[in-house]
Amino acid sequence: MTAPAPVAGRPAPWVGRSRPALEGHDIVTGAITYVTDRREEGMLHGHVLRSAVPHARIDAIDVSEALALPGVRAVVTAADVPVNALGPRAVDGPALADAVVRQVGEAIALIAATDATTAQRAADLIRLELTPLPVVDGPAAAAAAAAPQLHASGNVSGNIAFSSGDVEAAIAGAALVLRRSVHTPAQEHVAIETPGGVASWNAEEESVTIWCGSQNPGLHQRKVARALDIPAESVRMIANPVGGAFGSRNDDPMPVFLALLARAAGAPVHVHMTREEVMAAGAKRHPFWTSIDIGFAADGRILGSSVRAVADTGPIITSGPNVMKTSAEMSTGPYGFDVAAFDGTVYYTNNANAGAFRGYGVPQVAFAIENAITEAAHELGLDPAQIRLRNVLDRGDRHSLYRHRTTTSLNVRETLRTAVDHPLWAQRHRWQAEATGPWRRGTGIAVAMKGVGMGSGTGDTARARLSIDDHGQITIWAGPNHTGQSIQTTYGQVAADALGLPIDTIDVRVGDTGAVPESGPTAASRSTYAGGAAVRAACDELVERCRGLGLPLATDAAGVGTKLIELGEAEVNAEFRLPDTDDIGIVPPEQLATFAPHRVYGTCTQVVRVEVNALTGEVRVPELLCVLDCGTPINPAATIGQAEGGILQGLGLAIMEDHRVSEGVPRTTSLENYLVPTIADTPRMHTLFVEGSEDSGPFGAKGMSEVVVVPTPPAITAAIRDAVGVLPQVLPVTPERMLALIEESPCA
Amino acid sequence: MTPPTPTLLRPEGTADVSRLLTGARAVAGGTDLLVQRRDGLEAPTLVDLTGLASTRPAATRDPGTGELRISAVHPLTDVAAGCAGAFPALSAAIEAFASTTIRNRATIGGNLVTGSPAADTVPALLAADAVVEIVTPDGGRRTVALADFLLGPRRVDLTAGEWVTSVRVPRPSPEGGFRKIGGRRAQAISFLNLAWQWCREPDGRLTDVRLAMGAVAPTVVRLHAAAAALEGRSPTPDVVDAAVAAVDADISPIDDLRASAHYRRRCAAGLLREALLPPSTSGGPDQHVIPTTREKDQ
């Protein structure tokens, strides 16, 4: 670890020291006011009328009875929305369905009333005349020649293809060629707080303030401004505190709904979605059908790999093609080899909309490649860790698909070595031998890599604003926003060490477009890395300014603050532009942003123990090791928390989570039939950090919050392979799927 | 669609319940009824039976006959404690039931009356030939064998104004158990479940074999054919194979969102086979062991 050593005369460093979340006490005591807890004087309650059918033409909407119901203050339909769009393109979808509904749960009308029950009754009084249309129930149906076209541009939402050579030629003489197909399901985020909040319209100024969770307050500000046809400066998003996101607050239309209702009603309006609404209408992780052709030399070296992926993004684009872009880059895993190809297509369907979800297209393709490597190890008689060590990228190596230069902080090899030395892996044979009865034991290993930030050519930038007052108090407005991970706690640690000031003299504010400079999304594992670097830059600028003026910031912050105010120099603005790769390899320069290869990657190796019941197909996961290459963990406890949470989402994807839709109708409609891991399903988890430092990150930090999800499913399937000799290719591995595999296996 | 104003009535004592139940529904833990109500079940007036728990024990055992009388209105946590090891199959079922917080609310009465084929306490009670004790609207009592009480999915032999006060269980066998298969290890509706009890004679033969399985038929069912295959025999590999093969005869599972009929048949066989493994090699009970201290490597 590269946490700074104590320096005489300076406060003990905060970077590298675990610090509880600043709002932790308020969370556990219930004192915190989440955005959905907010109450305003004269506040109305909103309700969203949603489609119950997956695809239909809207012939008429009659809201007269709903409007006549006592207590109803506003009913908003598509006709009432100034610019009925969630984005600049038709495929971004309308704010409210106008001519057609394309998904169960799609919003058709918004109602505000004096109480929530009245708003719901009003929704029941809205008369809809719908003509059913044929349902596009998956990518195959979308691609069919006679398929109904869901958009003027067709049913293909996006395609990304790239090749660094002739894969078939490269694997023609391979000792082993595997051609495999895997499937990963739609997954629900299950953020504890469901979307909602409050909006308040100021009629005089024609402006709106919205308290609603968001991973990208600036983007939501622009979306609201577009829909209401008002200047962006007239929209203020206050986007926390919020109870979790995991990607779900990237594409969420709720801020737009709140603003539309508040303006129509002329009063503050509160909306809070039910879990059932989220299950139907909220974006999911993209379900993928992924195929891989991969060839190995006898010693386990990868000779070439070609990955093809198909994803279902539902009726509107949300993050579809961007997710596939990330899949493309990570389709070669953390491995270095000479020839690779990728071809991925995203389709529109009438299924649940899919959007951003922690891991963003990587868990899907990583499952294909890691499963193939697990199988290759068995086929070639190689140790599953050794075959990976034989292939992993080293610091600064060229990426297998784009041939661009990776960061020198890339430390996959060390995560693998650390994992291999851990008792969980070293003692796997003994543990397996101690199995009793129908419970067979196995240990699996998998490794993953994911880019940090939006990638080369995208101009990805985070910003921070800092001011000092005459008491020496520092205020920092910075982004990306807090969405549950308490990023402001981490920013405070960076600032305290950069300024050399006591941490309790530093107040960090995030998530308010009225004060925080545009910093992009809480996404792409970029918050600590990019936001932290922007905070660091602002702090360094202040320190430098003081040095230039001969002001003793560390010993007399109050005096320095007073002096800087006099000089008009008490505020600092800084930004951090994420560095592009310094060699873009074979990516055409004009298409750099299209493929957006990364310079900086976080990596992770996981070792997992599973027990499989050979009589019932149950899979238990008692223990798991996570070894992280994240540079400097600025707040180790928070980093471990991120790792453990990510592992559980990966575990859910691996063995139980499956958002099921048939004929366009969601079948998993609540948390009674959509299962996520409980504490009883939670393995004993060990998280280790490998030494490392990312030069471009704040105090050597880089991102890690998504990569931790990625190795869990393939490590679990590898462990299942070790336990019962069959390698599942379809997730989740339910007891039913597991028992079928065992019974179909020739060794059964 | 305005939900009626909910009313919760609290009886003063057992005698008061029948009067209040006119036009109302009984509720105890509410862990199923309140969920059903949220999904549209009309039950505007509820009579809360939980107060009755303070007037009697959760379970009593007749020292002469060994019969257990289990209160229908006590939380499962208290029932397990009250049985004090006398009914191993039910104790195992309660241990696997939902979660601690649900077990602190849910009751045997509610689990019976809701009539779910997947109810987790029912197989142990059915295997043990439990008798349901019902208070009639006039304050009288009637009893009905649990096997007759269960009529179908969400249907039981209970008419308006009646409520279940207790369950009587003839001396349960000292050897018994329960296993459920769900989508996860807590808070999950069973894909299927199995309760068993038998006596193991000194020569290793199993006698008085009773098996019951849930979520494989319109009600929880006894596995009579499988039990007959085991009765009076040692569980040798041949005997076990015959019993496992006989499971199919008493079940009629369906496909639903949770599992297919095919899986339920295969897993039903697997569950019985697992239950018949020698105790030392069964792999122990499904261990819901949570580390009490979270080890941090940093």
Question: What would the pLDDT profile of A138-174 be if each residue is shown by its tens digit?
Answer: 999 999 999 999 999 999 999 999 999 999 999 999 9
Tell me the mean pLDDT in the region A291-301.
Answer: 98
pLDDT at B38 over 90: no
Three-class DSSP labels, A486-540: CHHHHHHHHHHHHHCCCHHHEEEECCECCCCCCCCCCCCCCHHHHHHHHHHHHHH
Structure-token pair, residue A385: 């860790």
Q: Exposed, middle or buried by CB within 10 Å (0-12, 13-18, 19+), for A231?
A: exposed
CB contact under 8 A, B283 and A686: no
> In whole angstroms, how large is the CA radius of gyration of chain B?
20
Closest by CA to A453, choosing from A379, A404, A543, A521, is A521
Which residue of chain A has the CA closest to B262? A736
- Of B184, B259, B297, which is closest to A677 when you measure between CB atoms? B184
Minimal Cβ distance to A437: which of B184, B189, B283: B283
- Cα–Cα distance, B192 to B181 (Å, whole number): 6
Interatomic CA distance for residues B183 and B188, integer angstroms: 6
Torsion, Cα A398 A399 A402 A405, to 10 degrees, reads: -40
Does A684 contact B291 at a Cβ distance shorter than 8 Å? Answer: yes
Distance from CA of A739 to the nearest CA of B (A): 8
The residues facing A369 across adjacent strands are none
Res. B5 pLDDT band, cuts 50 70 90? confident
Q: What is the largest CA-CA distance in chain A?
A: 82
The structure tokens listed for A419 are 């994992």
| Signed CA dihedral, A321, A322, A324, A329: sign only | positive
Q: At what angle do helices A254-265 and A217-228 cross, to 10 degrees?
A: 40
Mean pLDDT over residues B257-266, rounded?
97
Angle value at C-alpha B221, between A744 and B137, nearest 5 degrees: 150
What is the rounded CA–CA span in Å between residue B213 and residue A28?
Answer: 42
Which residue does chain B place closest to A667, by CA atoms? Answer: B257
Site of tokens 């004269």: A42
pLDDT in tens, A534-586: 999 999 999 999 999 999 999 999 999 999 999 999 999 999 999 999 999 99
pLDDT on residue B6: 82
pLDDT band at A10 (very low <50, low <70, confident <90, very high): low
Q: Which domains does chain B have, with CATH numbers?
A: 175-278 (3.30.390.50)
Cβ atoms of A193 and A211 closer than 8 Å: no
pLDDT at A344 over 60: yes
- With a cut of 80, say whether residue B37 has pLDDT above it: yes
Q: How many CB pairs under 8 A join A and B?
A: 107
Please give the C-alpha separations between residue A630 and each of A244, A272, A389, A449, A529, in angstroms, as whole numbers.
22, 36, 19, 11, 10
pLDDT of residue A7: 57
Query: Angle at the Cα of A270 (from A266 to A276), degrees rounded to 5?
Result: 140
Contacts of B134 (CB under 8 A, 6+ apart): B141, B142, B143, B144, B158, B162, B163, B164, B165
| Strand B25-27 relative to strand B45-48, pairing | parallel
Which residue ranges form the domains of chain A, and what is each CATH number? 24-28+461-577 (3.30.365.10), 35-133+195-272 (3.90.1170.50), 288-455+587-744 (3.30.365.10)
Is residue A439 within 8 angstroms of chain B, CB to CB? Answer: yes
pLDDT over 80 at A637, yes or no: yes
Confidence label for A119 from pLDDT (cuts 50, 70 and 90): very high
Whole-number pLDDT of residue A660:
98
Give the closest-approach CA distance of A405 to chain B in angstroms: 32
CB A639 within 8 A of CB A633: yes
Contact between A239 and A258 under an 8 Å Cβ cutoff? The reply is no
Q: Respond yes or no on whether the N-terminal peptide bond of residue A241 is cis (omega within 30° of 0).
A: yes
Tens digit of each residue's pLDDT (9 = 90 or more) over A377-426? 999 999 999 999 999 999 999 999 999 999 999 999 999 999 999 999 99
Cβ atoms A445, A424 nearer than 8 A: no
Strands B45-48, B7-9: pairing kind:
parallel
Question: A7: phi > 0 → left, psi -120 to 50 → alpha, else beta; which?
Answer: beta
* Structure confidence at residue B294 (pLDDT): 39
pLDDT recorded at residue A22 = 95
SS3 content of chain A, % helix, strand, coil (to 5): 30, 25, 45
pLDDT attached to residue A6: 54
pLDDT of residue B44: 85
Instruction: Output the CA angle A324-A329-A334, nearest 5 degrees.
Output: 130
| B110 has a pLDDT exceeding 50 | yes
Q: Do A735 and B267 touch (CB under 8 A)?
A: yes
Which residues of chain A make contact with B267, given a CB cutoff of 8 A? 615-617, 735-736, 739
SS3 string of chain B?
Answer: CCCCCCEEECCCCHHHHHHHCCCCEEECCCCCHHHHHHCCCCCCEEEECHHHHHHCCCEEECCCCCCEEEECCCEHHHHHHHHCCCCHHHHHHHHHCCCHHHHCCCEHHHHHHCCCCCCCCHHHHHHCCCEEEEECCCCCEEEEEHHHHEEECCEECCCCCCEEEEEEECCCCCEEEEEEECCCCCCCCCCEEEEEEEEECCCCCEEEEEEEEECCCCCCEECHHHHHHHCCECCCHHHHHHHHHHHHHHCCCCCCCCCCHHHHHHHHHHHHHHHCCCHHHCCCCCCCCCCCCCCCCC
Choose from B179, B262, B267 for mutation: most chain A CBs within 10 A: B267
Residue B4 — very low, low, confident or very high, per pLDDT cuts 50/70/90?
low
Contacts of A726 (CB under 8 A, 6+ apart): A720, A741, A742, A744, A745
**Region of poorest pLDDT, from A6-15, A245-254, A428-437, B219-228:** A6-15
Read off the amino acid at residue A95.
A
The chain-wide mean pLDDT, for chain B, equals 92
Q: How far is the C-alpha of A663 from the C-alpha of A132, rounded, in Å?
A: 13
pLDDT of residue A469: 98
Other CB atoms within a 10 A radius of the CB of residue B9 amount to 16
Average pLDDT, chain A: 97
DSSP state of A272: E
Predicted local confidence at residue B282, as pLDDT: 53
pLDDT tens sequence across B48-65: 999 999 999 999 999 999
Confidence grade of residue A1 (pLDDT, cut at 50, 70, 90): very low
Q: For A369-374, what is the mean pLDDT?
A: 98
Output the six-digit token pair for A85.
Answer: 């769009």
d(CA B107, CA B72): 6
* Cα–Cα dist B27/B11, whole Å: 12
Q: Å from B76 to nearest chain A CA?
A: 19
Over residues B74-100, the pLDDT tens digits come to 999 999 999 999 999 999 999 999 999
Tell me the shortest Cα–Cα distance from A79 to chain B, in angstroms: 27
pLDDT at B3: 58
Question: pTM for the complete prediction?
Answer: 0.96
Cβ atoms of A301 and A390 closer than 8 Å:
yes
User: What is the helix (H) or strand (E) element at residue A237, kind and residue range?
Assistant: strand A235-238
Residue A601 pairs in a beta bridge with A451
Q: Cβ B267–A679 below 8 Å, yes or no?
A: no
Query: Would you say residue A685 has pLDDT above 70?
Result: yes
Beta bridge partners of A187: A285
Q: Do A684 and B2 touch (CB under 8 A)?
A: no
- Given a cut of 80, whether residue B267 has pLDDT beyond it is yes
Three-state DSSP at A724 gives: helix
Cβ–Cβ < 8 Å for A1, A494: no
Which residues of chain A does B288 touch, with a Cβ-Cβ cutoff of 8 Å?
A: 680
| Whole-number percent of chain A with pLDDT over 70 | 98
Q: What is the 3-state secondary structure (H, E, C) of A293-339?
A: EEEECCCCCEEEEEEEEEEECCCCCCCHHHHHHHHHHHHHCCECCCC
pLDDT one-digit tens code per residue, B180-228: 999 999 999 999 999 999 999 999 999 999 999 999 999 999 999 999 9
- Is the Cβ pair A436, B270 closer than 8 Å? no
Q: How far apart are CA A638 and CA B105, in angstroms?
A: 35
Nearest CA of chain A to the CA of B139: how many Å? Answer: 37
Interface residue A620 vs chain B (CB under 8 A): yes
> Does A673 contact B258 at a Cβ distance shorter than 8 Å?
yes
Question: Residue A5 pLDDT > 70, yes or no?
Answer: no
pLDDT at B284 over 50: no
Q: Are A700 and B231 in contact (CB under 8 A)?
A: no
Query: Which of A609, A615, A658, A688 to mutate to probe the B interface, most B CBs <10 Å?
Result: A615
The type of residue at B173 is S
Place of tokens 């009600």: B219
Cβ-defined contact of A679 to B290 (cutoff 8 Å): yes
pLDDT band at A2 (very low <50, low <70, confident <90, very high): very low
**Mean per-residue pLDDT for A367-379?**
98
The torsion angles phi and psi of A577, rounded to 5 degrees, stand at -95, 125
